Structure 1
Amino acid sequence: MTPTPFELAPQAWGLLLVAALLVGISKTALPGINTISIAIFAAVLPAKASTGALLLLLIVGDVFALVSYRREADWRSLLRLVPFAALGLGLGALFLAVTNDGSVRRVIGAILLLLIGVTLWQRWRPRAAATPPANAARVAARAGFGTLGGFTTMVANAGGPVMSLYFLSAKLPVATFLGTAAWFFAAINLAKLPISIGLGLITPATLELDLLLVPGVVAGAVLGRWIAARIRQRAFEWAVIAGTSLGALYLLLR
């Protein structure tokens, strides 16, 4: 159960405010760092309660991401992901209803590390050997990333690293990357909301807590816009890989 604001120690409030700031930055600049917020919330709050509390802040961050990048999305890629993401959401909701999420988070972490390895290999292999993937391979990648992204975001709000690697592999420019991710997660997080309420992950205490943390998300979103306007494409791509790696290690070691 989510503790009330008055039950949290000052140091816990400090950590949650940092996490809220990072949520805002992740939505408008560096998607991978959202996993740090996941870790902080899980450390301060009960595991399932942390999932519901963070979801509401992510939705606030989605609003700022859409305001900033709503015209930049790659709609063709986005619409093709929807059926697989919906399948992943359903599987994640079923999992949350029947079991705990400790072992699955470690599996997700291992999968992410494998995906990072593949991403790095693709970036470092000789250009002459690089050939465009076959259509079947593209469909398989879309199905795998979409389903895993939906599942991980439902179970642990950890879909960001998965989808970041997918969008990165599509070689999207910074603004297009952020715009496509903004629309994807805005839709996914809104779909998760009634499911989370039904599972008891969001309560009146959750709303009280998040209302006090929203200013941190707003400040982070503004700071993220400043960063995104100045970051270079290569630095952005490596920041995504680094953030995803941290997220994978967190999920493995938690």
Structure 2
Amino acid sequence: MIVDPAFYAAAVPATIVVGLSKGGFTGLSVLGQPILALVMSPIQAAAIILPVLIVQDVVSLYAYWRRWSRKELLRTLPGAIAGIVLGYLLAASVSDAAVAFGIGVLSVAEAGRSFLSRRLKRTPGESGPIAAAVWSAVSGFTSMIANAGGPPLMIYLLRRPLPVQQFAATATAFFAVVNWVKLPFFLALGQVSFQNLATSAVLIPIAVLSTMAGVWLVRRVSPERFFGLVYAILAVVGVKLIYDGVTHF
């Protein structure tokens, strides 16, 4: 088990924000991996957070049971699985610097997309089956490499005419399937070690509580104000990771 205080200084906030995302504040999860990637290898961070995500999925699936869009899941899951397989095949050849750089670019892009969509008031329903296949494949790939599949999926789902509850439920169900599909690939990569699992176990109580808090808050707090600060933080973290990636190439 990891005992470095610096790791937990990053891991606890990362687990909380991912839990809030799983509870309904969809999109917030993109902060979790960048925060962890600041203190450790992105690949190891992905392996540690995966069991935590699976536990959070159980809680959030219970809260949003059968509220998801079956149509959107049928559109996106095949591409996601293809992206996961590609991520597994390329995991050994992708450097930590490249992964950090990629997460940073995705983080900044997601923050910029959020800002522009608010200004342009983009009409939902613009994305079709091709966009679903492309963005879900990118989501599966980045999720396999570094648990950063949130931004690509959000780019697609935010352009669909989904009510808030159905939007949150669809994203929850999508990543619940993705996380279970990734598990055997992480086993094959040798990343699911006793040390990583023991570290994950320490974070699980925080994960459950934060997910339940997210479910509670999503019905009581306006997401718009909350996401304003979240995306500002996301942009800053993304720029830092881009810098780290460039300087280590």
Task: Tell me the TM-score normalised to structure 2 length.
Answer: 0.83
Contact 1:116 1:241 (8 Å CA) reproduced: yes
Q: Secondary structure at the match of 1:146?
A: helix
Structure 1 residue 118: Cα displacement = 5.9
1:162 maps to 2:152: yes
SS in structure 2 at match of 1:152: helix
CA contact (8 A) 1:85 1:148 kept: yes
1:28–1:225: 8 Å Cα contact kept in structure 2? Answer: yes
Q: Which amino acid aligns with 1:80?
A: R
Letter in 1 for 2:7: A
Aligned match of 2:169: 179
Report the Cα distance in structure 1 between the residues aligned to 2:167 and 2:65, rounded to whole angstroms. 11
Give the residue type in structure 2 aligned to 1:217: A
Query: What residue number does 2:181 align with?
Result: 191
Match of 1:93 in 2: 88
> Under a length normalisation based on structure 1, what TM-score does the superposition of the two structures give?
0.82
CA offsets 1:177-206 (integer angstroms, 9 cap, x no match): 110011100100000001001101110111
- Aligned residue number for residue 247 of structure 2: none
For residue 141 of structure 2, what is the aligned residue in structure 1?
151
| The structure with more radius of gyration | 1
Within-5 A mapping of 1:37-186: 37-107=32-102, 109-110=104-105, 113=108, 121=116, 123-125=118-120, 133=126, 138-186=128-176
CA contact (8 A) 1:42 1:50 kept: yes
Q: AA paired with 2:136?
A: G
Structure 1 residues 86, 242: closer, same or farther in 2, change over 3 A? farther
Secondary structure of 1:31 counterpart? coil
SS in 1 for 2:67: coil
Q: Please state how far the C-alpha of 1:53 moved relative to its aligned partner.
A: 0.2
Which deviates more from structure 2 when the two are superposed, residues 90-99 or residues 112-121? Answer: 112-121
Gaps of 5+ in 1: none
Q: Identity, % of aligned pairs?
A: 31
Q: Tell me which residue corresponds to 1:201.
A: 191
Q: Distance in 1 between matches of 2:230 and 2:151?
A: 8
Secondary structure in 1 matching 2:28: helix
* 8 Å CA contact retained: 1:173, 1:233: no
Alpha-carbon RMSD: 2.9
C-alpha distance in structure 2 between counterparts of 1:45 and 1:131, whole Å: 38
Deviation at 1:221, TM superposition (A): 0.9
* Contact 1:30–1:240, Cα closer than 8 Å, also in 2: no
Pairs aligned (count): 244
* Counterparts of 1:248 and 1:196, CA distance in 2: 25
Distance 2:215 2:125 in 1: 33
Structure 2 residue 221 is the aligned partner of structure 1 residue 231: yes
Q: Is the 8 A contact 1:35 1:243 kept in 2?
A: no
Q: Verify the 8 A CA contact 1:23 1:57 in the aligned structure 2.
A: no
Q: Tell me how far apart the structure 2 counterparts of residues 245 and 171 of structure 1 sit (CA, whole Å).
A: 26
